[in-house]
Structure 1
């Protein structure tokens, strides 16, 4: 049996503002941009994992008003789960995002539990971490 992660949802406040981070600064490519009524879902992916897509959507997209309100509140608090990427060049990734204007939460450091990493907040307040990929 072969199981692989296909989609990972990221809740954002503003899709266009988030595209400036995930597409323009991070370099992911837009795979789909789908509207349904007043809502929109955008999927992005990278070349190293062609079958994995991040799905950006606003809190109320496809949800009840109460669920969307609750999700929006958690997003505002920065309480949603973080996203962790790996990269083959942490310092270059850090500089690319920093110069794009992304909010730096942590400069690259060697963590006591092992990885060298850094952290940013996306425009909606989600924590996005980057780990140095170990060289095989």
Structure 2
């Protein structure tokens, strides 16, 4: 089964500063409708046809990772995201021994659920 796009999510402190940084350094153009601050929400860049980068303010990132601590500056933290059948993937994760971090539910950006694999790596599935 193929999943596309794959979305790599990173926590950030400042949306506008991060938007400017990625636009300048990697010459990426954010896509999506702009929020009140003029920056697309969610803040995403297409790295290629199959991989997107999503930059999430730490508060929102904390919601996705549940009761885990986000990595401090200088450490690495990611949430791997994919689009698919949320209920089916979360149920398969549950049956395979994964930890369900957030049960499937409707959120402002879509229907989503998050699980941790057996090593604690987080995956968010969105319909």
Q: TM-score, normalised by structure 1?
A: 0.41
Larger Rg: 1
Query: TM-score with structure 2 length normalisation?
Result: 0.44
